[in-house]
Amino acid sequence: MKILVCISHVPDTTAKINFTSDSSALDGNGIQFVINPYDEFGLTKALQLKEKHGGTVTVVTYGDTRVEQTLRKALAIGADDAVRLDGIPTDPMQVAGELAAHVQSAGYDLVICGQESIDYNGGIVPGALAAHLDWAFVNACIGLTLEGQQADCLREMDGGKEAVKATLPMVIAGKKGLVEESELRIPNMRGIMTARTKPLIPQPLAGTTPASHPASFTKPAPKAAVQLIDSSNLEELVRRLHEEAKVI
Amino acid sequence: MVLIFAETWNGHFKKSTFEAVRYGAQCATSQGSKAVAIVVGPCAPPVESLGAYGATHVIHLHGSDRFEPFAFAAAIAAVAKEHDATHIIVSGTANGKALAGVLASKASASAISNITALPTGFAPLTVQRSAFSSKGIEVCVSDARCTVMVLVPNALGAGAAGSDTAQVEDRHISFEGKSHPGDAQVASGSIPLPEAERVISAGRGMKGPENWGMIEELATVLQAGTACSKPVSDIGWRPHSEHVGQTGIQINPQLYIAIGISGAIQHLAGVSGSKTIVVINNDPEAPFFKAADYGIIGDAFDVVPRLTQALKAYLSN
Ligand SMILES: Cc1cc2nc3c(=O)[nH]c(=O)nc-3n(C[C@H](O)[C@H](O)[C@H](O)COP(=O)(O)OP(=O)(O)OC[C@H]3O[C@@H](n4cnc5c(N)ncnc54)[C@H](O)[C@@H]3O)c2cc1C
Ligand SMILES: Nc1ncnc2c1ncn2[C@@H]1O[C@H](COP(=O)(O)O)[C@@H](O)[C@H]1O
């Protein structure tokens, strides 16, 4: 079985976000970039599936040379090889188009994405990729077992979950639950050493045109100072929630 | 024209549907075009009632009673193409998110998600969205003839219902999906978090799952949804579906009450869109107080039951 894990390279969750002085882009200075947390679940799931069913796990990121450190980390965690689609994406439809071109050229049985990238929070790429490929798609996937070509998935819905059956090849967009937090793999010394010699191949783009572009970025206005209310006077809190905040 | 996906659950419109219809109607008015809602499958309330939120027409598609992203996307894209839709509005519910990317591709559209405001321009479409887990605001411009616009539920409001009714067209079509939805379990009576107007959330400060009774009681009094911090769901005190934050569910309720939660940056990233935040914590140095509107320094085990009583007393008046 050939599995592809699509990995977004995103600011660490603790990063303070700043934008360039002309407001046109993220200011990456001083920010540490990591594997998108949703994709970490996907990578671990892919490695578990490989151990059970055999095959290979490839990771792919569409980005410039800066994303290579993130791909190396994925190799250190256990992926067999990595592909970098060489360019700087600005739009989810473009990312989906480029990923689809790679999937079609290399041939995979299963593509695992994350439910969203924690940078631009698009949540668009996986579904658009599945549509490009004309493969089944399960979003918010919190469980996956395979038997031959048959996939049994669990999908999170508003206020619950549902079982979904599909036939490979397919695309899933995963989140916590796909594997548990405690199962997440981290690179060990041997992994880090072998990662250096695993293939990480830059590939030229197919040339998909973006369908949208960012015009500017700003930070939300800072919040006013908290109003502390004495814990012996909860009626005062209730009154303010009604009269000031108008939320009850 | 502006097409709106009017999502139903169990044969009823979701609350977020009214918000999406209102949003679509406002976009249509700004451009002098029509707002057309599309309803799929069985629907108990009369579908013409969407007129109350500004839809002038409703296309009611019969032939499917279960959400499947490909089947729904193909049906909606076909209507969009037939009417040369320029905007397709979808609420960012679980199904809306599953649909959006597939639909954008099928409709040869661009996709802008996480929208938190009305567009500031239509030629080209220019609209504000939330990015970097609420740590940034992006103004995004569509370069395509048609745009799938995914709204953050609860961020915009549906406004008051009017009395207009929409003109309805019924169609029977065949839906073709690529996957097969089976058993579904939905917690009965619970309010889905992305839709909840009020959310009561608790963290490790609650000491153990046996202490959640007081959290649920407070939620019941306020008709609120219940949520928790990540470690609480990781240790299994509460289900994963309650985990809010950067790597959990992102919410924008009117009122968020955080109890025994320290306010780590990853937690705040998922809840800072809340209109009013109340923090109850016994540590005056807890970082959450910096992000709160109202703060109570105190022991949750003392404060929460008394707050529930105070609210009960207030609400019964
Ligand atoms: C990659 C990554 C992603 C993450 N994503 C998320 C996320 O999506 N959501 C999330 O929540 N976290 C997330 N986290 C974890 C986050 O960093 C914090 O560890 C977590 O939010 C802390 O949870 P907590 O506030 O419940 O617990 P703690 O930090 O232990 O805080 C407990 C609080 O309860 C207070 N307290 C104790 N006793 C009482 C009492 N009797 N009465 C009142 N108050 C009391 C304490 O003063 C303290 O402030 C993430 C972390 C990482 C590394
Ligand atoms: N530049 C990228 N390269 C590879 N995969 C990506 C990229 N952007 C998004 N993805 C995948 O799509 C998922 C959802 O991303 P998004 O739609 O951008 O929120 C991510 O979790 C990744 O699996």
What domains are there in chain A, each with its CATH number? 2-219 (3.40.50.620)
Give B316's contacts (C-beta < 8 A, 6+ positions apart).
Answer: none
Chain A residues within an 8 Å CB radius of B223: none
Chain A residues within an 8 Å CB radius of B294: 226-229, 237, 240-241, 245
Is A63 near ligand 2, meaning CB less than 6 Å away?
A: yes
Cα(A136)–Cα(A123) distance, integer angstroms: 17
Find how far residue A177's CA is from the centre of its chain. Answer: 14
Is the same domain home to B259 and B128?
no
Tokens representing residue A242 in the block = 């009604």
- Measured from the alpha carbon of residue B272, the closest ligand is 1
Span A180-204, mean pLDDT? 95
Let me know if residue B178 belongs to a domain: no
Q: Is the dihedral of CA A55, A126, B99, B74 positive or negative?
A: negative
Q: Which of A86, A125, A203 to mutate to test the pocket of ligand 2 (most atoms within 8 A of CB)?
A: A125
Is A98 near ligand 2, meaning CB less than 6 Å away?
A: no
Give B146's contacts (C-beta < 8 A, 6+ positions apart).
Answer: B80, B85, B86, B87, B88, B107, B108, B109, B110
Let me know if residue B210 belongs to a domain: yes
Cα(A8)–Cα(A33) distance, integer angstroms: 10
How many angstroms does the Cα of residue A114 sit away from the middle of ligand 2? Answer: 7
- Report pLDDT digits (tens) over B24-36: 999 999 999 999 9
Is the same domain home to B126 and B9?
yes
DSSP, res B165: -
pLDDT given at position B194: 86
Let me know if residue B257 belongs to a domain: yes
User: For the domain that residue B10 is a member of, what is the CATH number?
Assistant: 3.40.50.620
Q: What is the pTM of this model?
A: 0.96
Structural contact between residues B151 and B189, judged by C-beta atoms closer than 8 angstroms: no
CA angle B25, B28, B33 (to 5 degrees): 135
Identify which of A176, A182, A212 has the shortest CB distance to residue B247. Answer: A176
Span A46-73, mean pLDDT? 98
pLDDT given at position B186: 83
- ipTM comes to 0.96
Q: Is residue A215 pLDDT above 80, yes or no?
A: yes
Cβ contact, residue pair A136, B178, below 8 Å: yes
Q: Would you place residue A208 in the very low, low, confident or very high pLDDT band (cuts 50, 70, 90)?
A: very high
How many angstroms does the Cα of residue A96 sit away from the middle of ligand 2? Answer: 8
Q: Nearest-CA residue of chain B relative to A240?
A: B294
Is the same domain home to B167 and B198?
no
Ligand 2 atom nearest to CA at A112: 23
CA distances from B308 to A247, B94, B213, B215, B220 (A): 16, 31, 12, 9, 9
**Domain encompassing residue B239:** 193-316
Let me know if residue B152 belongs to a domain: yes
Structural contact between residues B303 and B205, judged by C-beta atoms closer than 8 angstroms: no
First to last CA, chain A: 55
Is the same domain home to B132 and B205?
no
Q: State the helix-helix crossing angle for B69-82 and A125-133, rounded to 10 degrees.
A: 80
Is the same domain home to B120 and B199?
no
Q: Which of A41, A60, A110, A113 to mutate to test the pocket of ligand 2 (most atoms within 8 A of CB)?
A: A113
Is A5 near ligand 2, meaning CB less than 6 Å away?
A: no
pLDDT given at position B240: 87
Is the same domain home to B307 and B206?
yes
The structural domain count of chain B equals: 2
First to last CA, chain B: 47
Let me know if residue B58 belongs to a domain: yes
Is the same domain home to B264 and B300?
yes
- Report pLDDT digits (tens) over B208-238: 999 999 999 999 999 999 999 999 999 999 9
Cα(A96)–Cα(A127) distance, integer angstroms: 8
Is the same domain home to B142 and B203?
no
Chain B residues within an 8 Å CB radius of A126: 101
Q: Which of A13, A38, A39, A118 to mutate to test the pocket of ligand 1 (most atoms within 8 A of CB)?
A: A13
Q: Is residue B189 pLDDT above 80, yes or no?
A: no
Chain A residues within an 8 Å CB radius of B113: 121-124
Find how far residue B136's CA is from the centre of its chain. Answer: 19
Ligand 2 atom nearest to CA at B101: 17
Give A75's contacts (C-beta < 8 A, 6+ positions apart).
Answer: A59, A81, A82, A191, A194, A195, A198, A200
Let me know if residue B303 belongs to a domain: yes
How many angstroms does the Cα of residue A85 sit away from the middle of ligand 2? Answer: 12
- Report pLDDT digits (tens) over A133-153: 999 999 999 999 999 999 999
CB–CB contacts below 8 A, A to B = 287
User: For the domain that residue B298 is a member of, what is the CATH number?
Assistant: 3.40.50.1220
Is the same domain home to B117 and B262?
no
Look at phi and psi of residue B32 and say left if phi exceeds 0, alpha if psi is from -120 to 50, else beta: left
Cα(B107)–Cα(A127) distance, integer angstroms: 13
Let me know if residue B180 belongs to a domain: no
Cα(B4)–Cα(B101) distance, integer angstroms: 15
Cβ contact, residue pair B105, A93, below 8 Å: yes
Cβ contact, residue pair A124, B113, below 8 Å: yes
Identify which of B9, B143, B279 has the shortest CB distance to residue A211. Answer: B143
DSSP, res A98: H
Identify which of B133, B147, B178 has the shortest CB distance to residue A121. Answer: B133
Is A169 near ligand 2, meaning CB less than 6 Å away?
A: no
Identify which of B94, B105, B294 has the shortest CB distance to residue A132. Answer: B105
Structural contact between residues B60 and B168, judged by C-beta atoms closer than 8 angstroms: yes
Q: Nearest-CA residue of chain B relative to A93?
A: B110
pLDDT given at position A69: 97
Q: Is residue B188 pLDDT above 70, yes or no?
A: no
Is the same domain home to B101 and B198?
no
Residue A150 to chain B, least CA–CA distance (Å): 11
Burial label, B188 (beta-carbon count in 10 A; 0-12, 13-18, 19+): exposed
Structural contact between residues B131 and B137, judged by C-beta atoms closer than 8 angstroms: yes
Tokens representing residue B157 in the block = 């409001």
Closest CA relative to residue B201, chosen from B149, B248, B154: B248
- Report pLDDT digits (tens) over B51-75: 999 999 999 999 998 999 999 999 9
Let me know if residue B251 belongs to a domain: yes
Q: Is residue B129 pLDDT above 90, yes or no?
A: yes
Is the same domain home to B161 and B205?
no
Among candidate residues B172, B205, B226, the one where a domain is terminated = B172
Span B230-248, mean pLDDT? 93
Cα(A26)–Cα(B312) distance, integer angstroms: 47
Q: Would you place residue B187 in the very low, low, confident or very high pLDDT band (cuts 50, 70, 90)?
A: confident
Is A143 near ligand 2, meaning CB less than 6 Å away?
A: no
Is the same domain home to B121 and B214?
no
List the residue whose alpha carbon is closest to atom 43 of ligand 1.
B281
Write down how long chain A is.
248
